[in-house]
């Protein structure tokens, strides 16, 4: 079975950022403290699993870069910490198949521009997250709804609001009316639905995927119309779609 590709976006990134990053490989300068690297020279049939296996590191997000509608052989990889960025840079000029891979520090600006290209429709579907083009509530640009899984059972809406109230994201604070705790027979399930103002805000918020709330890693997925219907059936709460 052919595997789905990870996020693919048209290259709206600043090509000068590679030079501004201060070189490639171990010892390269990390410009803005954002844990992201850019891989160049990837095989054109590379998959997300191949990149994870190559880096041997826990990744937060992988965005494949396209030019003129075709995969460019480059990808942005967001990692969990700056220490992991250093570990990724140590893989500079190592091989995937017959191709040696160049690795550069990347910036928050480049990553958010890549995310913006995705939600504007310049990309294919979301890898492994069940988001198709034209998700509900967002026309052809994606979904404004996210599904959270793995929440502490004692979590309340204020905990979720605080989780996303992260100054590095650059998005407005969530309104409590847009946070919906998923229960089953009145019992917490460790899940919630959250609506953001725009698809772009929702995509940016996804950078918190596998972030910690207390001692729990929280998984974040784009929510489908089926998720909303199931939520209303289980909880009895009606939400505007």
Q: Cα–Cα distance between 186 and 63 in angstroms, integer?
A: 38
pLDDT at 4 > cutoff 60: no
Where residue 47 falls among pLDDT bands split at 50, 70, 90? confident
Is the same domain home to 151 and 117?
A: no
State the pTM of this model. Answer: 0.49
Do 113 and 162 lie in a common domain?
no
Judge whether 4 lies within some domain. no
Q: Is residue 114 part of a domain?
A: yes
- Average pLDDT of the chain? 80
Q: Is residue 240 part of a domain?
A: no
Residues 229 and 155 in one domain: yes
β-sheet with 216-222: strand ranges across: 179-184, 187-195, 145-149, 216-222, 211-213
CATH of residue 182: 3.30.70.330
Is 191 a member of any domain? yes
H or E segment to which residue 110 belongs: helix 108-119
Q: Above 90 in pLDDT, residue 234?
A: no
Task: Give the rounded percent of residues in the chain with a pLDDT score beyond 90.
Answer: 40
* Confidence category of residue 161, pLDDT binned at 50, 70, 90: very high
Last residue in a domain, options 121, 156, 173: 121
Same domain, 95 and 166: no
Contact by Cβ (8 Å): 147, 206: no
Domain extent at residue 205: 145-234
Q: How many domains does the chain have?
A: 2
């Amino acid at each position: 079975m052919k595997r789905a590709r990870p996020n693919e976006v048209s290259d709206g990134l600043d090509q000068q950022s590679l030079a501004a990053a201060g070189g490639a490989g171990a010892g390269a300068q990390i410009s803005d403290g954002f844990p992201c690297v850019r891989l160049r020279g990837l095989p054109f049939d590379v998959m997300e699993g191949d990149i994870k296996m190559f880096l041997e590191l826990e990744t937060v997000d992988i965005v494949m870069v396209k030019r003129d509608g075709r995969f460019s052989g480059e990808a942005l990889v967001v990692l969990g910490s700056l220490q992991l960025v250093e570990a990724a840079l140590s893989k500079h000029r190592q091989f995937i198949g017959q191709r040696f891979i160049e690795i550069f520090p990347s910036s928050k600006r480049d990553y958010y521009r890549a995310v913006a290209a995705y939600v504007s429709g310049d990309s294919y579907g979301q890898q492994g997250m069940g988001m198709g083009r034209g998700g509900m509530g967002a026309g052809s640009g994606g979904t404004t709804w996210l599904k959270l899984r793995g929440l502490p059972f004692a979590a309340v809406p204020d905990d979720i609001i605080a989780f996303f109230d992260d100054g590095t994201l650059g998005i407005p604070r969530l309104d409590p009316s847009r946070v919906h705790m998923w229960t089953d027979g009145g019992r917490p399930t460790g899940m919630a639905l959250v609506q953001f103002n725009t698809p772009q805000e929702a995509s940016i918020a996804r950078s918190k995927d596998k972030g910690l709330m207390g001692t729990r890693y929280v998984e974040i997925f784009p929510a489908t119309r089926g998720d909303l219907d199931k939520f209303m059936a289980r909880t009895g709460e009606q939400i505007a779609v």
